[in-house]
A and B are shown apart, each in its own frame.
Chain A
């Protein structure tokens, strides 16, 4: 393959040669011949030397499973297994388009001797959950003067599974730490200090009681040993129903309804595990894609993360099938939190809810309202603005009807936008805990 540089030389050669012929000048013709011969004379040698199959690329990564937003070091080793040296070799290691190159470069160009190798590394930030591949690697080999080249794409790919983002959990933990340190004193109106720590009363000390429960002040007053008692921990069982139908994928890439629903499910699972509650997750559209039953097993979180990492918006929402599948496997009383945009016909939804209630479960719907997740109205022209408002109104009307129908059966529908999706899920969970909904 001749490069652009090679073509320039060829053009020069032909120009000089033809000029030589036209003006009967042997010098110009000779220089033209020099250029043309100079271009082709090394071609067979280069073809012989540039046995690109002698190049092996090995890619290593620190982790094969990362959270969205985490950093990953990629280490690439290029080895020359042939007995020839390569004068100029360029290596481009490809990474997914949505990821960000944080430190270093995914490219190297150098010379490589026979049997030797060179290593370079770079740091990427994984963005957006899903299954990704690092690679392929493009190897371009040039001759010294850069007039010829061979290209080879090494199709070897490294699979990386990106879990949904962990930033919400980190943020929650950071807030918890701030609260512990008293940094957020007075910023919350709630009087609920926490579950399982509510004071219930005193009772007389019985041998065998732990000493730490003795209330020394009251014992001194009464003249007898008394024990401080607390309310029993109220543990609940929650099943998070994540709708992954096509309509849930609308919106900006990292801000779709589905992404928020997934983040909400991760947060809910984490909170549940922290408080010894049982939280399960079901991902469904027209089929049930995955179901992780409620559990407190330490690895439960990973099961949920893996099932959520692979979710892709497609199909339509078959609420009935999903309920049937989950209720068959979950016998205990549970709180079903539906994360769905309610864009399917209401009859199947009502039927599904009927099944939920009939099986003794409780349910609530946290529903992302489509237009709030899509293009902000401010970016529209006047006609589009009117149209968008009309569509929003119609959708809102429809949603109100569904809410009224569900309200008759004590199923609340909370409409949420991107800003209040996660606070709502935390609030609803706290509320369910306080009320002791679906205790086990």
Chain B
């Protein structure tokens, strides 16, 4: 399955690269990719922070001096002193301030003016920065998806790249669009927005197929690896114990956690119980014998049954590559065709309009050209698919109803067990009653019983 996964990995990379390139080209028309945008954004953020810090420190200083001088604003001398002492040593020169401002009122005025300017600049730079951020995030997630084979990364990469276009559309930049949605399928298929949409969808399809191919073959490969590690760990543990018993020195790092030996739950438990792998282990025969017995059990099993290893690794369960390739191609092709055809019909409702034979008022209405008109078809058609699958599922579910039926012998055994317990309980109660009666009778006949006396004596003492 590795080969199929690699082919799909390449296809996924190609479609992602093409999708990213098309998005780049689309936004490049509006010169949205200013390469200085990340730097400008960071600088603007620092400007804003320094301005805020400057204003706050002035405010605090002013408050302190006012408190010292009885609520009076500091006079020129103090302002001068403050400006010289504080602002001269101001390491981050506030945005828009060239040198020390001697008048406090000027500080407030400058702050108000500069703040608005910085904020506006930040608003502009944020979007340019976001394009880069999302592009970077998309690429990072895409690379992760190739290694980790997790749908979260593929989906994340797809959404990140598409979010660039969503933000672009929000900012009013030139993004792929249909001015009038084509009614002709050929025009539709060859249009650039459709190509981008199809490539984006193909990326998602290939990456999910890649994850499928990986996950369908990987467990069998993993099983083989796990078995190898477990058998190796077991052999090492037995050898180590032999060495301890012979009185040889054993390196404690022999079974390191990194080797995967400790991932083997059986040995891990033995180690956690501190029963194995130390000289004291000799005293604890249980843990040692458990490991030895397991080793013997496995050896016997592998020797006596030639299929045992294959069954433990489940090698035979690996799917055939040719079948997976064939089904991937046919499955994807069918999905593409279905999705494109259905989506085209929903986006361009001319066919439905002609089929429904709508009155001219509706047929030529402006609402038919609105995008929201898609919903009229999208919702019922989507729900129709869901409805049909629920109906099918409902029918097939009836087949899978599991009735746990006990065999006649099992039922009888349970019944017998219950009856026996009931009988025993009854007998016990009966004999208890009889004993009680006998005791009462004895009490009246003979006054002192030797055992009762013993008991009494014991408790009196």
Does B bind A? yes
**A16 in contact with B223 (CB, 8 Å):** no
Q: Is A248 an interface residue (CB 8 A)?
A: no
24 A-B contacts, Cβ less than 8 Å apart? A16-B162, A17-B374, A27-B175, A27-B176, A27-B193, A29-B347, A30-B197, A36-B378, A37-B382, A44-B385, A47-B388, A47-B389, A70-B293, A75-B311, A102-B294, A111-B216, A111-B319, A120-B317, A125-B290, A167-B286, A167-B289, A287-B421, A350-B455, A404-B458
Query: Does A318 lie within 8 Å of B455, measured CB to CB?
Result: no
Taken together as a complex, chains A and B put the C-alpha atoms of A28 and B200 apart, in Å, by 11
Check: B364 CB closer than 8 A to any chain A CB.
Answer: no
In the assembled complex, which residues on chain B have CB atoms less than 8 Å from the CB atom of A104? 223, 226-227, 230, 312
Which residue of chain B has its CB nearest to the CB of A109? B219
Neighbour of B266 across the interface among A35, A102, A111, A171, CB < 8 A: A102
Query: Does B185 reach chain A (CB closer than 8 Å)?
Result: no
Summed over the interface, the residue pairs from A and B with CB atoms below 8 Å come to a total of 281
Q: Which of B223, B347, B396, B432 contacts A47 (CB 8 A)?
A: B396
> What residues of B have a CB within 8 angstroms of the CB of A119 in the complex?
311, 314, 316-317
Residues of B within 8 A of A174 (CB): 285
List B158-210 residues whose CB lies under 8 Å from chain A: 158-159, 162, 165-166, 169-170, 175-178, 181, 193-194, 196-197, 200-201, 204-205, 208-209
A350 x B371 contact (CB < 8 A):
no
- The answer to the question of B143 belonging to the interface, with a C-beta cut-off of 8 Å to chain A, is no
Which residue of A has the minimal Cβ distance to B390?
A47
Task: Give chain A residues whose Cβ lies under 8 Å from the Cβ of B404.
Answer: 155
Q: Which of A23, A33, A87, A118 contacts B346 (CB 8 A)?
A: A33
A346 interface residue (CB < 8 Å to B): yes
Chain A residue contacts of B193, Cβ below 8 A: 26-27, 30
B298 contacts A24, CB within 8 Å? no
Stretch at the interface among B67-75, B78-86, B120-128, B423-431: B423-431
- Interface residue ranges of B208-263 to A (CB < 8 Å): 208-209, 211-212, 215-217, 219-220, 223, 226-227, 230-231, 234
Q: How far is the CB of B233 from chain A (nearest CB, A)?
A: 10
Compute how far the CA of A5 lies from the CA of B152 in the bound complex, rounded to whole angstroms: 8
- Taking a contact as CB atoms under 8 Å apart, the answer to whether B196 and A23 are in contact is no
For window 42-83 of chain A, which residues contact chain B by CB distance below 8 Å? 42-44, 46-48, 50-53, 69-71, 73, 75
Residue pair B378, A5 in contact (C-beta under 8 Å): no
What is the CB-to-nearest-CB distance from A92 to chain B, in angstroms, rounded to a whole number?
Answer: 11
**For A71, what are the chain B residues with a Cβ–Cβ distance below 8 Å?**
293-294, 297
Residue of A nearest to B331 (CB): A144
Mask: chain A, 152-186; 1 = CB below 8 Å from B; 0 = not: 11110000000000010011001000000000000
Max count, chain A CB within 10 A of own CB: residue among B223, B402, B428:
B428
- B388-422 vs A, Cβ < 8 Å mask (1 yes, 0 no): 11101100100110101000000000000000010
Known: A108-B314, A144-B209. A41 touches B176 (CB 8 A): no
Instruction: Give the residue name and chain of the B residue nearest to A150 (CB).
Output: B393
Q: Is B372 an interface residue (CB 8 A)?
A: yes
Residues of chain B from 129 to 165 with CB closer than 8 A to chain A in the complex = 151-152, 155, 158-159, 162, 165
Residues in B with CB closer than 8 Å to A5 are 151, 155, 208
Q: Which 6 A-B pairs have the closest CB atoms?
A: A118-B317, A53-B399, A120-B314, A23-B169, A111-B319, A27-B193
Residue pair A320, B432 in contact (C-beta under 8 Å): yes
The residues of B that contact A171 with a CB separation of less than 8 Å are 285
Contact A113-B386, Cβ < 8 Å, known A25-B177, A144-B331: no
Is A216's CB within 8 Å of the partner chain B? no
Q: How far is the CB of B296 from chain A (nearest CB, A)?
A: 9
Are A100 and B338 also in contact (CB < 8 A) when A40-B386, A109-B216 are?
Answer: no
For the complex, give the distance between the alpha carbons of A170 and B285 in Å: 10
Is B342 in the interface zone, CB < 8 Å from A?
Answer: yes
**CA of A52 to CA of B328 in the docked complex: distance in angstroms?**
22
Known A-B contacts A26-B177, A104-B312, A174-B285; the reply to A324 vs B431 at CB < 8 A is yes
Is there contact, CB below 8 Å, between B317 and A110?
yes
- CA gap between A21 and B374 in the complex, in Å: 10
A296 to B168, CA, bound (A): 91
Since A16-B166, A318-B432 are in contact, a sample of 6 more A-B pairs with Cβ atoms closer than 8 Å, ordered by chain A residue number, is: A33-B343, A43-B385, A47-B390, A121-B314, A123-B297, A125-B290
Q: Are A146 and B212 in contact (CB under 8 A)?
A: yes
Which residue of B has the minimal Cβ distance to A147? B208
Contacting pair A25 B175 (CB below 8 A): yes
Q: Which residues of B contact A103 (CB under 8 A)?
A: 227, 230-231, 234, 266, 294, 298, 312
B322 adjacent to chain A (CB < 8 Å): no
Instruction: Tell me if B's interface is mostly helix, strand, loop or mixed.
Output: helix
| CB pair B286 A405 closer than 8 Å | no
* Chain B residues with CB below 8 A from A188, complex form: none
Partner of B374, one of A29, A31, A123, A155: A29
Q: Is the CB of A41 within 8 A of B155?
A: no
* Residue B327, interface by CB 8 Å: yes
Tell me, yes or no, whether B357 is within 8 Å of chain A by CB.
Answer: no
Task: Tell me, yes or no, whether B324 is within 8 Å of chain A by CB.
Answer: yes
Q: Judge whether B399 and A51 touch: CB under 8 Å.
A: yes
Q: Which residue of B lies closest to A4 (CB)?
A: B151
Interchain CB contact under 8 A, A318 and B196: no
- A30→B155 contact, CB < 8 A: no
CB-based contact A28/B208 at 8 Å: no
B265 within 8 A of A: yes
A8 CB-CB contact with B under 8 Å:
yes
A120 contact from B223, B265, B286, B327, Cβ within 8 A: B223
Chain A residues with CB below 8 A from B297, complex form: 71, 123
Min Cβ gap B451→A in Å is 5
Min CB distance B157 to A, Å, is: 11
A108 to B212, alpha carbons, bound, how many Å?
15
Contacts of A110 in B (CB 8 A): 216-217, 219-220, 314, 317-319
Judged by a CB distance under 8 angstroms, whether A138 is at the interface is no
Q: Which of B151, B312, B386 contacts A146 (CB 8 A)?
A: B151
Would you call B89 an interface residue if the criterion is a C-beta within 8 Å of the partner chain's C-beta atoms?
no
Q: Known contacts A42-B335, A404-B458; is A8 also within 8 Å of B152 by CB?
A: yes
- Identify B216's interface contact among A26, A37, A73, A88, CB under 8 A: A88
Cβ-neighbour of B265 out of A41, A101, A108 (below 8 A): A101
Q: Is A351 an interface residue (CB 8 A)?
A: yes
Taking the closest CB of chain B, its distance from the CB of A59, in whole angstroms, is 13
Which residues of chain A have C-beta atoms less than 8 A from B378's C-beta? Answer: 17, 33, 36-37
Contact yes or no, A41 B385, CB < 8 A: yes
Query: In the complex, are the beta carbons of B197 and A27 less than 8 A apart?
Result: yes
Closest to B346 in A: A33
Residues from chain A with a CB closer than 8 A to the CB of B212 are 87-88, 144-146
Asked whether A121 lies within 8 Å of B342 as measured between CB atoms, the reply is no
Asked whether, in the complex, the Cβ of A44 is within 8 Å of the Cβ of B389, the reply is yes
Q: Which of A102, A122, A324 has the most CB of B within 10 A?
A: A102
Name A401's closest neighbour in chain B (CB-CB): B458
Check if A212 is an interface residue, CB within 8 A of chain B.
no
Question: Which A residues touch B396, using CB under 8 A?
Answer: 47-48, 50-53
In the complex, chain A residues whose CB is within 8 Å of the CB of B2: none
State the CA gap A337–B434 with chains docked (Å). 26
In the complex, A35 Cα to B346 Cα: how many Å?
13
Contact of B350 with A by CB under 8 A: no
Determine whether A229 belongs to the interface, using a CB cutoff of 8 Å to chain B.
no
User: With a CB–CB cut-off of 8 A, which chain B residues contact A303?
Assistant: none
